[in-house]
């Protein structure tokens, strides 16, 4: 059985619903736009998500689009994969999602536009330079993708 982590959360708006799991379908948690947004095709906007959190020690959070985000809103997340650092934990550290509109679009406050989960940090990495790697050579990029 998975253990539970408590996360301190601050809401910047009363217009968004409080975060929750949706129907037990996934352990990713949807995030909501904290304001109405109107964009023309090609425009960029940092959309406030109306929350800040103090993540558990040793964790970071990852923010990605929902599968339906492009179909519903016509926007692409410009950083593709948002990383919320453990140090982004203060009173003003509101989460945002950067988007670009591919068509004229409107996003309304409380719309579920992206999702997040928390992940443990990776181990500390030390790089050891060498002229020859001792792994088996696959032949380089794209070498198996011909047939
Ligand atoms: O999609 C995102 C990505 C980042 N952040 C916040 C949390 C993160 O901890 C902080 C900095 O992010 P990152 O280090 O990826 O951005 P940067 O461009 O390197 O900026 P900085 O100089 O603030 O580190 O911005 C978000 O709210 N949404």
Question: Tens-of-pLDDT digits for all 147 residues of the chain?
Answer: 688 999 999 999 999 999 998 877 889 999 999 999 999 999 999 999 999 999 999 999 999 999 999 999 999 999 999 999 999 999 999 999 999 999 999 999 999 999 999 999 999 999 999 999 999 999 999 888 866
Query: Which of 76, 84, 113 has most ligand 1 atoms within 8 Å of its beta carbon, as the pocket-test mutant?
Result: 84
Enter the tokens of residue 40: 């023309």
How much distance in Å is there from the Cα of 27 to the middle of ligand 1? 23
Name 111's Cβ contacts closer than 8 Å, sequence gap at least 6.
Answer: 32, 33, 72, 73
- Measured CA to CA, the distance from residue 142 to residue 73 in angstroms comes to 34
Task: Indicate if ipTM > 0.90.
Answer: yes
Q: What is the pTM of this model?
A: 0.93
Report the run of H or E that residue 128 belongs to, with start and end: none
């Amino acid at each position: 059985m998975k253990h539970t982590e408590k996360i301190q959360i601050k809401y910047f708006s009363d217009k968004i619903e409080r975060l929750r799991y949706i129907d037990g379908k996934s352990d990713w948690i949807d995030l909501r736009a904290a304001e109405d947004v109107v964009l023309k095709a090609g425009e960029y906007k940092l959309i406030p998500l109306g929350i800040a959190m103090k993540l558990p020690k040793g964790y970071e959070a990852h923010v990605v689009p929902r599968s339906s985000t492009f179909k519903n809103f016509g926007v692409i997340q410009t950083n593709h994969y948002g990383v919320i650092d453990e140090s982004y934990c203060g009173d003003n550290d509101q989460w945002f999602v950067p988007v670009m509109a591919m068509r004229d679009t409107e996003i309304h406050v409380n719309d579920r536009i992206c999702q997040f989960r928390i992940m443990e940090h990776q181990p500390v990495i030390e790089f050891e330079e060498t002229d020859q790697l001792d792994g088996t050579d696959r032949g380089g990029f794209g070498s198996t993708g011909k047939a």
